[in-house]
Structure 1
Amino acid sequence: MENLCFDLLSELEQRLLDIDSRRYSPIEKCSEKVKICQELTGTLRELYLEASLNTVPKQIHFFKEVKPKFFSELHYNHRMITFYKDRPRGSTKLKDKYINQCMEEASSYMQKHCEFRNYINMKSDHMDEVYFTKREYCPKLHGSFEYPLEPEFSSPADPTYSCLLAADRFMQFLKNEKFALKNPTLDPSWEYQKTLDWQGSKTDLVELVYALHAAGKLKGDLKHSFAVMEKALNIDIGNYYRLYTDIKLKKNPDSLLEELKTSLLEKIRQENQ
């Protein structure tokens, strides 16, 4: 099942990128993405119900690492549709007020689940069996979480985790909108000029980004990290999930990291002479 989920996640990523490349309005893009997410979450549900995840590690992996990637994308785009529909057309002051209201709502939700959010951000795992395995929702253990709407396809915590991922992402979007609102005369070419040219391979860059995430040096989801890297380094990475699979199959999967370590130590040695 792991390979099937990986392929489905790759399909989700590719189809979302395809929507971003089209000349749709923002609300049209989000609407199309919601349709894609609904289709593929339905497929994911079928895969789960047909599979036998009969071990705790398999269940934790599915409900903590796989399912939230699909459903957080769905929740995020639903929220974006509401944002674009309700966004006022009036003065800058009115628009800023609306953004602040949205930020307060997202912040309130994150604060409501701050303990669980800290558990996730600290990469804790001591409660994973209670949070991310298939079991009956228990108010004493799980009362702080959203009640799962599909108990047969949920762990107690994964619906809340998906919503938190979406809220974090929406909050970052709102911060960017607020910045743009306060800097309407900023030349868009300024950001484009602040780029570097990546001289390594795409696989090298994928190895670097995954390593930074694994070490907890980058926060947020991988999709956002790669989008920022592509813009900053002037490169089209493409399907990074597939490249990461290739890295895992390599005899020496950390070849770039070894090269960077060797180069840095050599530079320090030469400068210390």
Structure 2
Amino acid sequence: MDFEKHNKELIKKLDDLKYESNGIVDRSNQSIIICRNHLNNYKKEVIKTGFKSIVKEIEFFKRTKQIPLTQLIYYSEIRSFEIQFPKVDTNEQRKYIKRKLNKLNRFFLYNMDFGQYIQSKQTYFDEQYFTRDYFDNLAITSSKFYFQDPDFCTSYDMLLGKFKAYNSFILYLQTRLKNQKKSKYYEKPEVGNQVELQWTSTKTDLTELIYALHHCRVINNGKSDIKEIAKALEGVLHFEIGDCYKTFAEIKTRKMSRTKFLDDLSQGLLTYINNSED
């Protein structure tokens, strides 16, 4: 099996989900399934063919397997975080994010020695850490993975996956915290049972809407730029849009309708109007 080729295909599939999924939870669900399927295929290949040398085995568990494993852990953490994320009260939301960050910080402190080993690019323990002969030396730490297959795991490959995934997850949480702090400037005084709004469609759909609002000059008589409108809607809709300029560039390359979301909005409203007249 050409693992490098399969890893490139995996990354492309995960990247495509940024524009095809309906929000971060849906994207996480699909990403988890894709990563599991890749890991399952890798496991079958490893059990079937094995490795020609210890060097090859180390290379697989320290680098090759880490691509789908890291993404699996990363999106599993995001999914869990978003499902449990408080739906109201921005103060509670910020506290929740900070608790998650503190928990991750404790993980890195507890595994400081291993972290320094990896960060300094040392290799003298690689045979013990990343070959299956030393699986029984598995580090006992708090983990969601209570069972690991000794035919497809080493004593430290899961821990390495967590290191890589948690570093990315920290950046995700920091961005969420930053957006939560910004969102307070868009909050209104509570009136009755006011409901917070959450954008539940895709980044691409929101980008279409932002560009339409800007170029139709319906916000501040067209004096607000794309970035300002995007930031305002991020706060109101509690949604991270990312690089909308890049997303818009991809919209322009569409072979079908370039305004698919706006077309759907128009059709949906027309259908409602027509039905309401019956």
Please give the range of the TM-score, normalised by the shorter of the 2 chains.
0.5 to 0.7
Q: 1:101 aligns with which of 75, 99, 116?
A: 99
1:11-30 alignment to 2 at 5 Å?
A: 11-30=9-28
Per-residue displacement from partner, 1:129-168 (whole Å, max 9, x unpaired)?
A: 11112213344xx545678611111121101111121111
3-state SS of the aligned residue for 2:133?
A: coil
Structure 1 runs of 4+ aligned residues shifted over 4 Å read 144-148, 185-188
- Alignment check: 8 A CA contact 1:148 1:156 kept: no
Match of 2:42 in 1: 44
Counterpart check, 1:31 vs 2:29: yes
Counterpart check, 1:181 vs 2:219: no
**Offset, 1:30:** 0.5
**Offset, 1:190:** 6.1
CA distance in 2, matches of 1:29, 1:48: 28
Q: What is the identity percentage for the equivalent residue pairs of Structure 1 and Structure 2?
A: 21
1:87-98 alignment to 2 at 5 Å?
A: 87-98=85-96
- CA gap 1:155/1:188 in 2 versus in 1, 3 angstroms: farther
CA distance in 1, matches of 2:179, 2:72: 25
- CA gap 1:191/1:62 in 2 versus in 1, 3 angstroms: farther
**Structure 1, unaligned runs of 5 or more:** 193-226, 236-273
Q: TM-score, normalised by structure 2?
A: 0.63
- Alignment check: 8 A CA contact 1:148 1:154 kept: no
- CA gap 1:72/1:23 in 2 versus in 1, 3 angstroms: closer
- CA gap 1:172/1:54 in 2 versus in 1, 3 angstroms: same
1:234-273 alignment to 2 at 5 Å?
A: none
Match of 1:151 in 2: 150
Q: TM-score, normalised by structure 1?
A: 0.64
CA distance in 2, matches of 1:26, 1:112: 30
Amino acid in structure 1 at the alignment position of 2:124: H
Counterpart check, 1:127 vs 2:148: no
3-state SS of the aligned residue for 1:137?
A: helix
Match of 1:110 in 2: 108
CA distance in 2, matches of 1:70, 1:177: 24
Amino acid in structure 1 at the alignment position of 2:130: F
**Offset, 1:56:** 1.6
**Structure 2, unaligned runs of 5 or more:** 187-224, 231-241, 251-278
Query: How many pairs does the alignment contain?
Result: 196
Note the aligned Cα RMSD (angstroms): 2.9
